[in-house]
A and B are shown apart, each in its own frame.
Chain A
Amino acid sequence: MRLEIEGLSKSYKDKKALDSVNLFVSNGIYGLLGPNGAGKTTLMRILAGLITPDEGRVVFDGEDVLKNIDNFRYKIGYLPQEFGCYRSISVKECLDTIGVLKGIDASERKKQIEKILCEVNLSDEYKKKVGALSGGMRRRLGIAQAMLGNPSFIMVDEPTAGLDPEERIRFRGFIRKFATNRAILLSTHIIEDIKNNCDGLALINNGKIKQFNNFEELENMAKGKVWKMVVDSDDFHKIDGKYKILSTNTNANGLEIRIYSEVKPSEDAVAVEPTVEEGYLTWINA
Chain B
Amino acid sequence: MEVFKRMFTLEIKLFVKRYYLIIPLLLTFFYMFYGYYVMQDGLDRFSFIRTSGFVMMVLTMLAMCYGVINARQEKNEKFDELINTLPAFWIRQISKVFAWSFCSFVYCIILIMLCTGWIANGGNELWKYALQVIPYICVNFGIPMISTWIIAYSIEKIFKPIIGWPLLLLIWYVISPFKNNLDSTLIILSQFVEEPHGNQSLVHYGLEMNMGLLSRKLWLLMFSMSGYIFVNLFSSGTTTFKNAKAKIAGVTAILLIIGSVPLAVVSSKPHSQGVIWNLNNRRWRGELLEQAKEKLESEYSNGQMKLLHLEIGDSKGDLLEYYAKINIDNVTKDSIIFTLYRSLDVIDLKVNGLEYSKYIRDGDWIILENNIEGEVEIEINVSGRLPYLLGEVTDRTMLLMPDFPWYPVLGKHKTILPVLTDDFLPNSLAREKPYEIIVKSYRGNIITNLSCDSGTEFNGQATGPAVIQGDYKSGNIEGIHFVAPPSIYDFYKESINKIPSLFIEYKRDFKDSLGIEESYCSYNKYNQVFLVNLSKSVCINQDAVYLNYSSWLSASPDIADDIRIICESLRPIVLMECFWRTGLYMESSIAPALFHTMIEIAETGEKGDLEEYFIQWWEEDDEKQIVWENDLNDVYEIERLIKAESKEEISKIAYEILRKWVTVNNLGDSIDSLSSSFKSEE
Interface residues of A (CB under 8 A from B): 45-46, 48-52, 66-70, 73-74, 76, 78-80, 82-89, 93, 96-98, 100-103, 106, 130, 145
B646 lies within 8 A of chain A by Cβ: no
Q: Is the CB of B2 within 8 A of A100?
A: yes
B14 CB-CB contact with A under 8 Å: yes
Which listed residue (A50, A68, A78, A80) contacts B237, Cβ 8 A?
A50
List 25 interface pairs A-B (beta carbons < 8 Å), by A numbering. Answer: A45-B81, A46-B239, A50-B84, A50-B85, A50-B239, A51-B238, A51-B239, A52-B238, A70-B245, A79-B82, A80-B78, A83-B78, A83-B82, A84-B79, A85-B77, A86-B14, A87-B77, A88-B17, A89-B13, A98-B82, A101-B3, A101-B7, A102-B86, A103-B88, A145-B82
Please encode chain B, from 73 to 115, with 1 for each CB lying within 8 Å of some chain A CB and 0 for all others.
1000111011111111000100000000000000000000000
Question: Contact between B86 and A68 (Cβ–Cβ < 8 Å)?
Answer: no
Distance of A162 from chain B, by nearest CB (Å): 12
Complex: chain A residue closest to B4, CB-CB: A100
Q: Which residues of B contact A84 (CB under 8 A)?
A: 77-79
Shortest Cβ-Cβ A-B pairs, 6 listed: A84-B78, A48-B85, A84-B77, A100-B6, A82-B78, A80-B81
Q: Residues of B contacting A79 with CB < 8 Å?
A: 82
For A51, the closest partner residue in chain B by CB is: B237
The interface residues of chain A lying within 8 Å CB-to-CB of B79 are 83-86
Instruction: Return the CB mask of B234-248 against A: 1 if under 8 Å, else 0.
Output: 001111111101000
Whose C-beta in chain B lies nearest to the C-beta of A105? B2
Q: Report the bound CA distance from A121 to B497 in whole Å.
A: 86
Q: In the complex where A86-B73, A89-B13 touch, is A49 in contact with B81 (Cβ < 8 A)?
A: no
Decide yes or no: A103 and B87 within 8 Å by CB, A51-B239, A69-B240 being known contacts. yes
Q: Is B10 part of the contact surface with A, judged by Cβ < 8 Å?
A: yes
Closest B residue to A96 using CB positions: B6
Number of residues from B at the complex interface, CB < 8 A: 30
By the criterion CB–CB under 8 Å, are B240 and A49 in contact?
yes
Q: What is the distance, in angstroms, from A242's C-beta to the closest C-beta of chain B?
A: 45
- Nearest-CB residue, chain A, relative to B92: A101
A45, A50, A145 interface centre (most CB from chain B within 10 Å): A50
Are the CB atoms of B87 and A101 closer together than 8 Å? yes
Interface centre among A78, A87, A100 (most CB of B within 10 A): A100
**Closest Cβ of chain A: how far from B524's Cβ, in Å?**
77
For window 220-254 of B, CB contacts with A under 8 Å fall at 236-243, 245
Question: Which A residues are in CB contact (< 8 Å) with B83?
Answer: 98, 101
Report how far A49 CA is from B236 CA in the complex, Å. Answer: 9
Set of chain A residues within 8 Å of B238, measured between Cβ atoms: 51-52
Chain B residue at smallest Cβ distance from A109: B2
Query: Residues of B contacting A96 with CB < 8 Å?
Result: 6
Which B residue's beta carbon lies closest to that of A157?
A: B81
Residues of B within 8 A of A89 (CB): 10, 13-14
Known pairs A51-B238, A66-B239, A102-B87 / 11 extra A-B pairs, C-beta < 8 Å: A51-B239, A73-B85, A80-B81, A87-B77, A89-B14, A96-B6, A97-B7, A100-B2, A100-B6, A101-B7, A130-B77
| Contacting residues, chain A, for B85 (C-beta < 8 A) | 48-50, 73, 76, 78
Cross-chain contact A80 with B242 (CB below 8 angstroms): no
B243: nearest chain-A partner, CB-CB: A70
The distance in angstroms between the C-alpha atoms of A84 and B82, with both chains bound, is 9
| Pairwise interchain contact A103-B240, C-beta atoms closer than 8 A | no
**Contact code string B1-23 (vs A, CB < 8 Å = 1, else 0):** 01100110010011001000000
Q: Which of A73, A83, A106 contacts B86 (CB 8 A)?
A: A73
Q: Which residues of chain B are near A46, meaning CB under 8 Å?
A: 239
B73 and A67 contact, CB distance less than 8 A: no
**Residue interface mask B118-145, A partner, CB < 8 A = 1:** 0000000000000000000000000000
Contacts of B77 in A (CB 8 A): 84-87, 130
Chain B: minimal CB distance from A157 (Å): 9
Q: Nearest chain A CB to B450's CB is how many angstroms away? A: 68
A98 cross-chain contacts in B, Cβ below 8 A? 82-83, 86
**A residues in contact with B245, CB < 8 Å:** 70
Contact of B10 among A50, A97, A102 (CB under 8 A): A97
Report the nearest B residue to A70, measured CB to CB: B243
With A50-B84, A78-B82, A102-B87 known as contacts, the answer to whether A97 contacts B239 (CB < 8 A) is no
| Minimum distance in angstroms from B249 CB to a CB of chain A | 13
CA distance A80 to B245 in the complex (A): 24
Residue ID in chain A nearest B3 by CB atoms? A100
- CB-nearest residue of chain A relative to B2? A100
Cα distance, A223 to B369, chains bound together (Å): 126
List, in ascending order, chain A residues with CB within 8 A of B242's CB: 52, 66-67, 69
Chain A's closest residue to B85 (CB) is A48
* Inter-chain contacts of A52 with B (CB < 8 A): 237-239, 241-242
Expressed in whole angstroms, the minimum distance between the Cβ of B407 and any Cβ of chain A is 69
In the complex, the answer to whether A69 meets B78 with C-beta atoms within 8 Å is no
Minimum CB–CB distance from B539 to chain A (whole Å) comes to: 65
38-88 of chain B: CB within 8 A of chain A: 73, 77-79, 81-88
Which B residue's beta carbon lies closest to that of A81? B81
* Residues of chain A within 8 A of B73, CB atoms compared: 86
Q: Which of B2, B85, B243 has the most CB of A within 10 A?
A: B85
Residues of chain A with a CB closer than 8 A to B17's CB? 88
Chain A's nearest CB lies how many Å from the CB of B241? 8
Tell me, in angstroms, the Cα distance from A74 to B14 when the chains sit together.
26
Alpha-carbon distance between A103 and B245 when the two chains are bound, in angstroms: 17
Tell me which residues across on chain B come within 8 A of A85, comparing CB atoms.
77, 79
| Neighbouring B residues of A45 by C-beta, 8 Å | 81, 237
Question: Are B13 and A49 neighbours in the complex by a CB distance under 8 Å?
Answer: no
A84 to B240 Cα, complex, angstroms: 23
- Given contacts A88-B14, A100-B2, whether A69 and B239 have CB atoms under 8 Å apart is yes
A184 → B minimal CB distance (Å): 16
- Say yes or no: A68 contacts B239, CB within 8 Å: no
Least Cβ–Cβ distance between B9 and chain A, in angstroms: 9
- Could you tell me if B243 and A69 are in contact, using CB atoms closer than 8 angstroms? yes
A51-B238, A88-B17, A101-B3 known; A70 and B87 CB under 8 Å? yes
Nearest residue, chain A, Cβ from B82: A80
The reply to whether B243 and A68 form a contact with Cβ atoms under 8 Å apart is: yes
In the complex, how many angstroms separate the beta carbon of A171 from the nearest chain B beta carbon? 17
A105 to B14, CA, bound (A): 24
Q: Closest residue to A101 on the B side, CB-wise?
A: B86
Instruction: Return chain B residues, CB-CB under 8 Å to A69.
Output: 239-240, 242-243
Within the assembled complex, what's the spacing in Å between the Cα atoms of A159 and B10? 27
Tell me the bound Cα distance from A88 to B86 in angstroms.
21
Taking a contact as CB atoms closer than 8 A, the residue among A82, A87, A103, A130 that contacts B81 in the complex is A82
Minimum CB–CB distance for B240 against chain A, Å: 7
CB distance from B79 to the nearest CB of A (A): 5
Does A49 lie within 8 Å of B237, measured CB to CB? yes
Please indicate the chain B residues that have their CB under 8 angstroms from the CB of A97 in the complex: 6-7, 10
User: What residue in chain B is nearest A145 (Cβ atoms)?
Assistant: B82
- The chain B residue sitting closest to A73, CB to CB, is B87
Q: Measured between C-beta atoms, what is the minimum distance from A51 to chain B in Å?
A: 5
Q: A69–B237 Cα gap in the complex (Å)? A: 11
Q: Are B239 and A49 in contact (CB under 8 A)?
A: yes
Decide yes or no: A103 and B10 within 8 Å by CB, A50-B239, A52-B238, A66-B239 being known contacts. no
CA distance A87 to B74 in the complex (A): 10
Q: How far is the CA of A72 from the CA of B206 in the complex (A)?
A: 57
CB distance from A111 to the nearest CB of B (A): 16
